[in-house]
Chain A
Amino acid sequence: GENVEQHPSTLSVQEGDSAVIKCTYSDSASNYFPWYKQELGKRPQLIIDIRSNVGEKKDQRIAVTLNKTAKHFSLHITETQPEDSAVYFCAAIYTGANSKLTFGKGITLSVRP
């Protein structure tokens, strides 16, 4: 089955700096890669996603890039703000029948004011 790994497990940046969170996946058939943000004590919420036919996607201060050859995808957050502090989960799935979304273990991002 699919295996998704996230590195590093924690990341601390200064407010205003950029943050990059990288994930690797094992199943070359995976074709959909969402990112979820979970603030302390709250539910995970989708913040951005990318399909395998796209190399990059942007939404205001966040972007996701996908490298299918290397089987990794990254979340980029620019101009970080304290409210960006949270746990970020990447996930991967092959969107065929009976496929299941596989999550990474999460990365804790801390933005220092």
Chain B
Amino acid sequence: NAGVTQTPKFRILKIGQSMTLQCTQDMNHNYMYWYRQDPGMGLKLIYYSVGAGITDKGEVPNGYNVSRSTTEDFPLRLELAAPSQTSVYFCASSYSQGASQPQHFGDGTRLSIL
């Protein structure tokens, strides 16, 4: 059981480049989330999805896009990379948004924009 798998683990981008962070889960979870984690700032929600075909903005969506064409996959797209997007990105999934349905996190993608 792989759980939540994120690729790549590390990436360095130049300002203005674009890239897609991949996230896939094999737990048949309906809910999926993208967070960014900056040092000392906790986890900030970028986008989330309650099921295939449905996505919604979180707290810090600017500069990012997502899609959810299947239950398993929830890629995060950076169109024009900026230094402010240097961060560690975590994808997570849960069966529902309800109590006792913990979010399961991937190992993260460490992204540097230079």
Using a CB–CB distance below 8 Å, which chain A residues touch chain B? 9, 31-32, 34, 42-46, 49, 51, 89, 93, 95, 97-101, 103-106
Interface size on B, residues (CB 8 A): 21
Q: Is the interface of A mostly helix, strand, loop or mixed?
A: loop
Chain B residues within 8 Å of A, Cβ to Cβ: 40-45, 48, 56, 58-59, 90, 97-100, 102-103, 105-108
Q: Could you tell me if A34 and B42 are in contact, using CB atoms closer than 8 angstroms?
A: no
Are the CB atoms of B106 and A49 closer together than 8 Å? no
A75 and B84 alpha carbons, distance in the complex (Å): 33
In whole Å, how far is B108's beta carbon from the nearest beta carbon of chain A? 6
Taking CB atoms, residues of chain B closer than 8 Å to A31 are 99
Tell me the smallest distance from the CB of B10 to a CB of chain A, in Å: 11
Q: Kindly provide the distance from the CB of B102 to the nearest chain A CB, expressed in whole angstroms.
A: 4
Provide the bound-state CA to CA distance between A93 and B56, in Å: 17
Q: How far is the CA of A99 from the CA of B31 in the complex (A)?
A: 12
